[in-house]
Structure 1
Amino acid sequence: MKWKELEEEPCSMARTIAVIGDRWTLLILRECFLRTRRFEGFQTALGITRHLLAERLKKLVRQGILRRVPYQESPKRHEYILTQKGLDLYPIMMAIVHWGDTHMVDERGRPLLHQHRNCGKNFDPVMVCSECGEPILAKEVHTHPGPGARGPLAQKEMEAPARKPKARRKVA
């Protein structure tokens, strides 16, 4: 499968990867969530070339993830603001950060802590079922074709086998 064909796949993950699946786009989004808005700010924070940055920002605007808002007239300059579609990427970004905080930190610990304004506590993001509120674990999820499935996906069920927890032996 070619990179350009991903957005045509009958798979939500493939379509999402087609939009945000390269390293520069993810890092630009990280900066957006850290309140960076201006071209120079992105360039300084990331060390990315002007050409690559302009290309990625145009794509994010075209996809409706960012909107371009003028902040200066002469010369004309713009800020890049997350749209609702862009803000909806926050759980994905936090899941990546949490994985990195769990598996990729060195002896100094986490580079950033995330504090919930409402309660004032530092937190770890968690994913829960929208119906029952229980944590979601890969082994406890069953998938089946939905109304948008086409091709091989529509013909076969994909299932992560749900395993019952093993009874623990008591050690005397």
Structure 2
Amino acid sequence: MDILLSICAFILAILGIAGCIVPVLPGTLLSYGGLLCSYFASYSQMSTSALWIWLAVCIAVSLADYFLPAWMTRRFGGSRAGSIGATIGIFVGFFAGPVGIILGPFVGAVIGELVNDRSDFAKALVVGFGSFLSFFVGTGIKLIVAVGILVHVVADIWVHVVADIWPAFWNWLTNLF
């Protein structure tokens, strides 16, 4: 069971890093799932306080990432329509592929601002830039947390992977062929 938990811990931690970029996958929460798998392995040295701290960080980062586009849109002088447009742009951009994921909040904020006030195109571009910037800030924060969790998972189970799991896997692989 420990081998399965260790494999799941690594896979979830790596998927968590990928999920920081892909909006559909909850990146930090997947990483936290990897941390939980690592914790429940019999040889884990992780404390419960570390689990609670990482949980609080993951929840805070997930909430911040959800509200950041609207907040940054407002911070750059945008209206409520620009904030709503940025939020809609995130979801619509997902269906347009990688470029849409990056440009969706920008385009949504610009369209929202233009719906609100057609006469100030320059302001709409500035507000769109704020929303675009929020994507990079939110992604960066999520990546920092996900990589931190991966490092914690690796530090917790790496010695046992090298000592126990890798030789067992190697024996299985050599017996297979």
Normalised TM-score (structure 1): 0.28
Hey, which of these two has a bigger chunk of helix by percent? 2
